[in-house]
Amino acid sequence: MLTCDYNTTNTDTVWIKDGDEVVESNRIKLFKNSTLYIPAATKQDLGEYHCSLPDEQEPKVFNVVELILHKLLPKSTTVLENDKLSLTCLVQGDPLPTVQWLKNGEPIEKSINSSRLVLSENEYHVPNASLLIKPLMKNDDGDYICLITQFAIQHNTTTDVRVKDIYAALWPFLGIVAEVVLLCTIIFIYERRRIKPNFDESDSEQTNEQKSKVENSKEVDVRQRK
């Protein structure tokens, strides 16, 4: 619904779309209060509309566009240092909107060296809607904003990028390995100490048994001599 002048009632208004006059039909309604209404708008209704009132010299201009932001950026994004950061602004529109990337409120081109920065179109063919930084450095962390502009319409979506130390994922693994090694060492020492007394007892029993056999053998020899 477009209204040329909210203070006008019972006034004939001329509407022009892309150079052609808009004619009332079953699909398009024109009201005396200078309002144009299309209940079920389609792609064919996109374009530039001009409205003219009898007492106004300059016509008013309305741009009817399609703008869809399919998905917001995640609230936070964590990436390892020396890895790559890949962000995509899933926006589409007709006509194609303008996308600009900001880091901490400044154009990203001022913060990221061009040798590490690549801007490309997204799957909806919107230019600069995909961002790639490779390799990522520790000082690349911050708020990354996808700023979408289409005529007077402006939207944005933001993600907080956190760059972790390259060894950040290694420390927990090394800690687990150290714990396992320590546990295995304790078990080994405990088992060794537990088994040693058993060996000592077994050796003692064998010695006593051998002594007993020797003594018995001597007694037999003595009896035979008698």
The DSSP secondary structure of 125-171, one letter per residue, reads --TT-EEEESS--GGG-EEEEEEEEETTEEEEEEEEEEEEPTTTTHH
Q: What is the pLDDT of residues 14-37, one digit of tens each?
A: 888 888 888 888 888 888 888 888
Residue 212, pLDDT score: 58
Rounded mean pLDDT, 127-141: 94
Q: Are strands 76-80 and 153-164 parallel, antiparallel or unpaired?
A: parallel
Question: Per mean pLDDT, which range of 42-56, 59-73, 179-193 is the poorest?
Answer: 179-193
Token pair in block for residue 198? 């058993």
Q: What is the pLDDT of residues 170-220, one digit of tens each?
A: 666 666 777 777 777 777 777 777 675 655 555 555 555 555 554 555 554
Helix (H) or strand (E) holding 111: helix 108-111
Residue 223 pLDDT > 70: no
Number of H helices, E strands in the chain: 2, 17
Matching residue, tokens 């687990």: 176
Q: What is the pLDDT of residues 113-125, one digit of tens each?
A: 889 999 999 999 9
Residue 198, pLDDT score: 55
Percentage of residues in the chain with pLDDT exceeding 70? 80
Residue 146 pLDDT > 70: yes
Q: Which residues pair with 131 in a beta bridge?
A: 87, 119
Rounded mean pLDDT, 87-93: 95
| 194 three-state secondary structure | helix
Residue 142 pLDDT > 90: yes
d(C-alpha 103, C-alpha 136), whole Å: 14
Rounded mean pLDDT, 2-19: 82
Q: What is the mean pLDDT of the chain?
A: 82
Residue 172, pLDDT score: 67
- Radius of gyration of the CA atoms of the chain, in A: 42
Rounded mean pLDDT, 32-46: 86
Prediction pTM value: 0.66
In Å, how far are 22, 28, 106 from 126, measured between CA atoms?
30, 31, 21
d(C-alpha 28, C-alpha 45), whole Å: 10
- Dihedral of CA atoms 20, 23, 27, 30 in degrees, nearest 10, equals 120
